[in-house]
């Protein structure tokens, strides 16, 4: 597994060279097919030949992954979709020649899209939910649209604020090596007067051994301001994180870190910011699909997310729905359509090594976050806001009623977690917020029991 992770970091999500334009080497080919489709099976040798030439191909079985088929409006197999620069630039329906596929892969992202050459009469319906790789091509069916809206992050005021804070704290890095420069992404995690600390990935500095010039682009009021960065510390291999100091000349607002007691869980929603191929930062919504799946023998903290990031997002931040930083972009697996991020433990390891542990240790604790919920909905108190509380204990029970909530004392060895659903009683259909509190204190459990009805 260690070798696999290293290949991903070095080969698939290296920082974006400035001289490299979007081309066939940047394009990703999505192959929508099925096991019972004869033309699809006939195309296998051609696709294998493309893959041997270095083309990134994502094979999608429309039966096993109908969500991707609906996302791209696929109604006939085989269909080949070319993504470049984060956008669909070409689409071919039916069995294709090698030349046709190579032409599609070389499409200019800023040019016109290649037509599908498919007629409505030949299309076969495939109903499915949606994913987040790219906007739907063409029309959206009612069923697909409904599922897509459910999969989006909850549009609360607090989430919107968190997104804007993360956006303002995201920077673009240009790392010089004497022959040019590569572009990556970073996040401001701490400030001290006019100084700021940027968290990014370590492999940005692998080639120049940390010796090259660093330029950091800040985004202020719609304008780009460039300052010089100073590399404080980096690890380009095991943890793949780095710290860069800058002097923006003004007070920046850093993002919050996740509290050391909290744990990221598979299935939770998240969003990321990154500079696709050196462009201005853009946001992508996603979900956590795995926690600590890679380098388990080394005990390295990492997260896997849905949707493979592209070049230039290296070092960009991954945030939970409270806007707290939970990961740093490291690698992409296009075949599996996932991204791999350094997790909270790796970030904490880097801060510990740099003597900056105080940054994550002062993160807002779960209990403090719960107490602050009453301020999120004006005029509504805690007891009115907390509509439902479920407690999961280590023996596997779920959804306990308030009267069944187990008591917790300071010496309890039970592994409890508290799941809080917060919404306005006067508007039950309105936006809700779900939070998980890991290792709740005895005081918190007692407060819950007192207010539970």
CATH code linked to domain 17-151: 3.40.30.10
Structure tokens at 37: 């489709």
Instruction: Give the model confidence (pLDDT) of 126-177 as tens digits.
Output: 222 222 222 223 333 333 332 232 333 444 567 788 888 999 999 999 998 7
Which has more pLDDT, 401 or 420? 420
pLDDT for 368: 55
pLDDT for 448: 72
N- to C-terminal Cα distance for the chain?
49
How do strand 223-235 and strand 241-246 relate by DSSP bridges?
antiparallel
pLDDT for 387: 36
Residue 15 has pLDDT above 60, yes or no: no
**Which helix H or strand E contains 382, and what residues bound it?**
helix 382-385
Segment 41-70 shows an average pLDDT of 88
pLDDT for 434: 63
pLDDT for 396: 38
pLDDT for 415: 61
Residue 5 has pLDDT above 50, yes or no: no
How do strand 56-61 and strand 28-33 relate by DSSP bridges?
parallel
Which has more pLDDT, 245 or 150? 245
What letter would DSSP give residue 371? Answer: H
Tell me the C-alpha distance between 161 and 61, whole Å: 38
pLDDT for 452: 60
pLDDT for 3: 31
pLDDT for 373: 45
pLDDT for 27: 82
Residue 246 has pLDDT above 80, yes or no: yes
Residue 328 pLDDT grade (very low, low, confident, very high; cuts 50, 70, 90): very high
Residue 234 pLDDT grade (very low, low, confident, very high; cuts 50, 70, 90): very high
CATH code linked to domain 153-364: 2.40.10.120
- Range of weakest confidence among 4-18, 45-59, 412-426: 4-18
Please report which residue ranges of 72-188 form alpha helices under DSSP H.
98-105, 142-151, 157-169
Residue 179 has pLDDT above 80, yes or no: no
Is the four-CA dihedral 32, 36, 37, 42 of positive or negative sign? positive
pLDDT for 416: 65
pLDDT for 451: 62
Do 273 and 281 form a contact (C-beta atoms < 8 A)?
Answer: yes
Region(s) of the chain under CATH 2.40.10.120: 153-364
Tell me the C-alpha distance between 184 and 312, whole Å: 5
Instruction: Give the model confidence (pLDDT) of 69-110 as tens digits.
Output: 877 888 889 999 988 766 788 899 999 999 999 988 887 655
Do 45 and 73 form a contact (C-beta atoms < 8 A)?
Answer: no
Region(s) of the chain under CATH 3.40.30.10: 17-151
Do 217 and 169 form a contact (C-beta atoms < 8 A)?
Answer: no
Residue 372 has pLDDT above 60, yes or no: no
Segment 406-410 shows an average pLDDT of 45
Q: Model-level pTM greater than 0.75?
A: no
- Range of weakest confidence among 4-18, 252-266, 346-360: 4-18
Do 301 and 345 form a contact (C-beta atoms < 8 A)?
Answer: yes
């Amino acid at each position: 597994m260690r070798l696999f992770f290293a290949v991903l970091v070095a080969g698939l999500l290296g920082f974006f060279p400035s001289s490299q334009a979007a081309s066939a080497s940047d394009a990703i080919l999505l192959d929508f097919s099925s096991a019972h489709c004869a033309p699809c099976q006939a195309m296998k040798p051609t696709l294998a030949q493309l893959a041997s030439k270095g083309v990134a191909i994502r094979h999608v079985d429309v039966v096993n992954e109908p969500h991707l088929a609906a996302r791209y409006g696929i109604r006939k197999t085989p269909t080949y979709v070319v993504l470049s620069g984060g956008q669909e630039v070409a689409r071919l329906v039916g069995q294709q020649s090698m030349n046709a596929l190579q032409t599609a892969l070389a499409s200019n992202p800023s040019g016109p899209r290649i037509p599908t050459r498919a007629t409505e009469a030949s299309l076969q319906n495939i109903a499915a939910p949606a994913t987040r790789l790219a906007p739907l091509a063409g029309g959206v069916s009612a069923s697909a649209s409904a599922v897509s809206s459910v999969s989006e992050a909850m549009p609360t005021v607090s989430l919107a604020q968190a997104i804007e804070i993360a956006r303002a704290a995201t920077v673009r890095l240009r790392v010089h090596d004497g022959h040019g420069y590569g572009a990556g992404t970073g996040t401001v995690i701490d400030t001290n007067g006019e100084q700021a600390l940027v968290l990014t990935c370590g492999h940005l500095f692998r080639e120049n051994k940390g010796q090259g010039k660093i330029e950091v682009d800040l985004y202020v009021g719609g304008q780009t301001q460039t300052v010089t960065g100073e590399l404080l510390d980096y690890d380009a291999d095991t943890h793949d994180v780095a710290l860069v100091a800058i002097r923006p000349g003004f007070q920046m607002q850093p993002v919050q870190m996740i509290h050391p007691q909290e744990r990221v869980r598979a299935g939770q929603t998240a969003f990321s910011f990154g500079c696709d191929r050196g462009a201005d930062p853009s946001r992508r919504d996603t979900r956590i699909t795995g926690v600590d799946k890679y380098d388990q023998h080394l005990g390295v903290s990492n997260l896997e997310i849905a949707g493979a990031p592209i070049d230039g997002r290296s070092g960009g931040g991954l945030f939970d729905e409270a806007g707290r930083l939970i990961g740093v972009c490291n690698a992409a697996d296009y075949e599996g359509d996932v991204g791999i991020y350094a997790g909270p433990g790796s970030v904490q390891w880097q801060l510990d090594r740099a003597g900056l542990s105080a940054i994550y240790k002062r993160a807002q604790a779960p209990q403090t976050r719960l107490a602050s919920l009453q301020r999120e909905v004006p005029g509504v108190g805690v007891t009115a806001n907390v509509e439902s509380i479920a407690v999961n204990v280590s023996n596997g029970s779920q959804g306990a009623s308030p009267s069944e909530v187990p008591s917790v004392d300071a010496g309890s060895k039970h592994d409890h977690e508290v799941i809080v659903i917060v919404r306005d009683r006067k508007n039950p259909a309105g936006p809700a917020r779900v939070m998980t509190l890991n290792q709740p204190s005895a005081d918190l459990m007692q407060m819950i029991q007192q207010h539970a009805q």
